[in-house]
C-alpha cells in the first residue's frame, strides 16, 4: 500500500511540475479537426504496431486512448469519414484481446474497419524501397 501511495504522489508531483520552457498541452476538447485527426491517427498507428507485434492488450489500449480524439474529430468534422474512423476505433477498442487473432482471420467487421483505419491513417513515413543488402 505504501508503494502505491508513493507512486500516486510521484505522479501528482510530476504532473504539477512542468518544465518552464515546455508549452502547455492543448486540452483535448479544444482540438481542431486536423489536430484531432492527427492525434487519432497517431494512436491508431501505435495500435497497429502493437497488433503487428501480437500484443493484443496493447492494441486495445492504444485504440482505447484513440477514442477521445476520434470522438472530437467526428464532432468537429461533418464528413462521413470522421464518423467511420470513430466507429473503427471503437470497434478495435471494444474487441477483447483474446479475440483479435480469430477476428483478424475471419471477421468482416475486422476487415472493414481495417480498411478504414489503414485508409485514413496511413503512415506518413516514407517507405524504404531499397532492397536489403545480401549478407
pTM of the model: 0.71
Nearest to 88 by CA among 106, 105, 73: 73
User: Is residue 3 domain-resident?
Assistant: no
DSSP-derived secondary structure letter, 25:
P
Residue 30 is predicted with a pLDDT of 74
Task: Provide the pLDDT for residue 122.
Answer: 86
pLDDT of the residue at 134: 55
Weakest-pLDDT range from 4-18, 30-44, 105-119 = 4-18
Residue 113 lies in a domain: yes
Whole domain around residue 85: which residue ranges?
A: 29-120
In terms of Cα–Cα distance, which of 69, 92, 95 is closest to 82?
69
**Inside any domain, residue 33:** yes
Which pLDDT belongs to residue 33? 86
Amino acid at each position: 500500500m505504501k508503494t502505491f501511495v508513493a507512486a500516486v504522489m510521484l505522479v501528482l508531483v510530476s504532473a504539477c511540475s512542468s518544465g518552464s520552457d515546455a508549452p502547455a498541452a492543448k486540452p483535448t476538447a479544444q482540438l481542431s479537426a486536423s489536430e484531432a485527426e492527427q492525434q487519432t491517427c497517431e494512436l491508431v498507428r501505435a495500435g497497429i504496431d502493437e497488433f503487428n507485434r501480437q500484443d493484443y492488450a496493447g492494441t486495445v489500449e492504444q485504440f482505447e486512448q484513440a477514442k477521445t480524439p476520434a470522438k472530437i474529430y467526428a464532432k468537429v468534422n461533418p464528413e462521413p469519414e470522421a464518423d467511420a474512423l470513430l466507429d473503427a476505433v471503437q470497434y478495435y477498442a471494444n474487441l477483447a484481446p483474446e479475440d483479435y487473432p480469430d477476428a483478424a482471420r475471419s471477421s468482416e467487421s475486422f476487415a472493414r474497419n481495417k480498411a478504414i483505419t489503414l485508409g485514413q491513417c496511413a503512415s506518413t513515413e516514407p517507405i524504404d524501397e531499397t532492397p536489403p543488402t545480401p549478407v
